[in-house]
Homo-oligomer: A and B are copies of this chain.
Amino acid sequence: AQIALEQDYEAQRELDTRYRLLMDFTSDAVALVSATTGTIVDLNHNAASLFGTARAELLETPFAERFTGRRRGELLSALSSPLAVDSPSPIEVELKASQRQLLLSSKLFRAAGEQLIFVRLSDPELGSVADGKLV
């Protein structure tokens, strides 16, 4: 049983490492948002750069607060609507930090009984916010 526990621990650590590295390896700006509370559960450095705030200060804060003229409930339901899951049509937003226009693409999923939303922030003209080039 001890060996099984250690193997579980190792496997979990590996998945954790893969997930964390992939978040910062991708050239996209990505945030993970709780569908229940609307707060930022995780985000990568590209996303934090767009928001103009240190990553640690953004965790557990409402995602909708980063955009102008967006009420929290309205943005959340747009991001988590079943429609957005099947045929995601990006949502137009304006960053509070820079008045820059962005598109949000989202994917709702359930993990460990919690509903989470992956959100990708992209540039309407360039298609993606790559590697600090546009950040």
Residues of A near any B CB (own CB < 8 A): 1, 5, 8-19, 21-23, 25-28, 30, 32, 107, 109, 111-114, 116, 118, 120, 122, 127-128, 130-131, 133
Q: Do residues A22 and B130 form an inter-chain contact, with CB atoms below 8 A?
A: no
Q: Do residues B10 and A112 form an inter-chain contact, with CB atoms below 8 A?
A: yes
Sort A-B residue pairs by CB-CB distance and give the 7 closest, nearest first. A14-B111, A14-B112, A15-B15, A26-B26, A17-B111, A19-B19, A12-B12
Closest to A8 in B: B8
With A12-B15, A127-B27 as given contacts, are A22 and B111 in contact (CB-CB < 8 Å)? no
Q: Do residues B30 and A109 form an inter-chain contact, with CB atoms below 8 A?
A: no
Which residues from B are CB-within-8-Å of A23? Answer: 22
